[in-house]
Amino acid sequence: MKILVADDISLLGLEKLQSIPDMEVVVRTGMSESEVMQAISNADALLVRSQTKVTERVLSAAKSLQVIGRAGVGVDNIDVLSATRRGVVVINAPDGNTIAAAEHTLAMMLGMSRLIPQAFQSIQSGAWDRKSFVGVELYGKTLAVVGMGHIGAEVAKRAKAFGMRVIGFDPFLSEERARLLGITRATLDEAVSEADFITVHTPLTKETHHLLGKAQFAAMKKGVRVINCARGGIVDEVALAEGLESGRVAGAALDVYETEPFALDHPLRHFKNVIFTPHLGASTVEAQVNVAISVAEEVANVLQGKPFQNAINLPSLSAEQKAYLQPFLTLGERLGSFLGQAVPGSLEDLEITYGGDLADQDVSFIARTVLKGLLGQRHGDEVNYVNAPFLAKAAGLEVREVKQPKSRVYTNLLTVGVTSGKTRHTVSGTLYNGSGPRIVEVDDYLIDAQPEGAMIFTRHQDRPGMIGRIGMILGEADINIASMQVGRKETGGEAVMLLTVDKPVPESAIEKVQTLSGIFAVHRIEL
């Protein structure tokens, strides 16, 4: 079997593959797209980091490709959907750089607090200036960790060793897990308003883009310090610059940026109390070796037909399984994704109910797709079909599966329910012959909608003119409504509405809808 290595990957990882009989490892880095297409034509596996772009065009040239291995976490450079359609498994290494990223965060926090880079530059220039570099201590300060996944938890542990009080925000952080970590669970508003230091450790999704924006910076205490070693775009750089200019923000440490490489004329470069590194969070010898070995072992397992752990997309199914289950796997992931976007608060449990003929089948994998959709809204690339149950358990999310052989109306019915606070939310879907998956019920309100594309979901009071006013707001934003579904139980009571639109709705339009009298909640949904 031929394994093409298209980016610089640790030799220790490649040695794992080279030691396996009948595997030929070909290393060709720095190729253009056309060169990659030529080299991949007879490859069984492809190993990349972030440089090589694995596009639809590249994949179309691969005749025998079985697996793509990404030596790292993010898969932004891989067309995962196209790979999935072609039956190519995409593997990543989600845990190999956890310690490196956590340690870099602490290094940036210390460097910023004690002005170490600035003092170094001063000495290099020939000065001996001690008065200009009076720092602050970490001891006794409050650190807000926004995103309590693997890296956030490791940062919290290390910060506690410095004597810091740690508060954590994460929609899936349970009281039990917070207690075990020795931290205090908080809302985002509480975290940003109480903290002396704020560090972010979430993936970059539409929910976390500008998670620390103008409103959050306005709520921060004077003298706060902000660290971003996660993903560029989580921190609104314009809002950060304004906070630094006003003096509310006393310092910042950035390893990642909204646009990379970091622009020479970026306004943040003008502040002497900001330190920068060029996306070095995973750049340790150990991390590079760990991700290389991890991804090499996983690729070898796929090629040898052995079990594998870190699949980003759906592992191969038998022809018989795929024929029956594939539509339900898609439906399950979209129902989970729907709830993940429509229920923004913390989640306490998940219940999946298989009704009708579906209850007689082996549905063990459907739960994974539901979890992938649900958790993917908040964990991004970190979650896949294999590790979704593990992440749910780590977050304290109780998962129950129920089979009901008799369905009220439908031949098959898949229902997903979650509890947020004291409120129960459910969404149900089925498969119609000839028209594919449909959402047929939301919170016991009957509707009939195709679960795909851009949508708006509202909970509102059923009153005359409500639909028209929402339509006018969307029209003013140049948003065309493709379909509309309204569900209600009684005239004048609470109702739900699901609008399918031709393109994503801007936040400004959502804010206008929220201001309408009688609107209880409005959410953007993308499936």
- Please tell me the distance from the alpha carbon of residue 383 to that of residue 396, in angstroms, as a whole number: 15
The whole-number pLDDT of residue 50 equals 81
- Please tell me the distance from the alpha carbon of residue 310 to that of residue 302, in angstroms, as a whole number: 11
Which residues belong to the active site?
Answer: 231, 260, 279
Q: Where are the domains of the chain?
A: 2-94+286-316, 98-276, 329-526
CATH number for the domain whose boundaries are 98-276: 3.40.50.720
Note the pTM of the prediction, 2 decimals: 0.71
Q: For the residues of 253-293, what is the DSSP string, one character each?
A: EES--SSSSPPTT-GGGG-TTEEE-SS-TT-SHHHHHHHHH
Tens-place pLDDT, residues 133-189: 999 999 999 999 999 988 999 999 999 999 999 999 998 888 888 999 999 999 999
Tens-place pLDDT, residues 309-331: 788 776 555 556 667 777 888 89
Q: Tell me the residue ranges of DSSP E strands in 13-74.
A: 24-27, 45-48, 67-70
- Cα 184 to Cα 144, 191, 228: the distances in Å are 9, 10, 21
**CATH fold match for the domains 2-94+286-316 and 98-276:** yes
Tens-place pLDDT, residues 274-284: 999 999 998 99
The whole-number pLDDT of residue 15 equals 87
Helix axes 285-303, 11-18, angle to 10 degrees: 20
| Torsional sign, CA 445, 449, 451, 455 | negative
Q: Kindly report the backbone phi and psi dihedral angles of residue 355, in degrees, each rounded to the nearest multiple of 5, phi listed first.
A: -110, 155
- Please tell me the distance from the alpha carbon of residue 62 to that of residue 46, in angstroms, as a whole number: 10
Question: How, if at all, do strands 445-449 and 45-48 pair?
Answer: unpaired
- Please tell me the distance from the alpha carbon of residue 197 to that of residue 200, in angstroms, as a whole number: 10
Query: Domain 2-94+286-316 adopts which CATH fold?
Result: Rossmann fold (3.40.50)
* Number of separate helices (H) and strands (E) present in the chain: 17, 22
Question: How, if at all, do strands 184-185 and 197-200 pair?
Answer: unpaired
Q: For the residues of 93-158, what is the DSSP string, one character each?
A: -SSTTHHHHHHHHHHHHHHHHTTHHHHHHHHHTT----GGG----STT-EEEEE--SHHHHHHHHH
**Is 371 in contact with 408 (CB distance < 8 Å)?**
no
What are the 10-residue block averages of pLDDT along the chain, 527 residues in total? 93 86 92 95 94 94 94 84 82 88 98 97 96 96 95 96 97 87 95 98 88 97 97 96 97 96 94 96 91 92 83 63 78 93 85 88 84 84 72 83 80 91 90 81 91 92 90 92 89 90 91 92 91
The CATH number of domain 329-526, selected from 1.10.3470.10, 3.20.20.70, 3.30.1330.90, 3.30.200.20: 3.30.1330.90
The whole-number pLDDT of residue 458 equals 93
Q: Kindly report the backbone phi and psi dihedral angles of residue 187, in degrees, each rounded to the nearest multiple of 5, phi listed first.
A: -80, 170
Q: Kindly report the backbone phi and psi dihedral angles of residue 113, in degrees, each rounded to the nearest multiple of 5, phi listed first.
A: -65, -35
The whole-number pLDDT of residue 13 equals 82
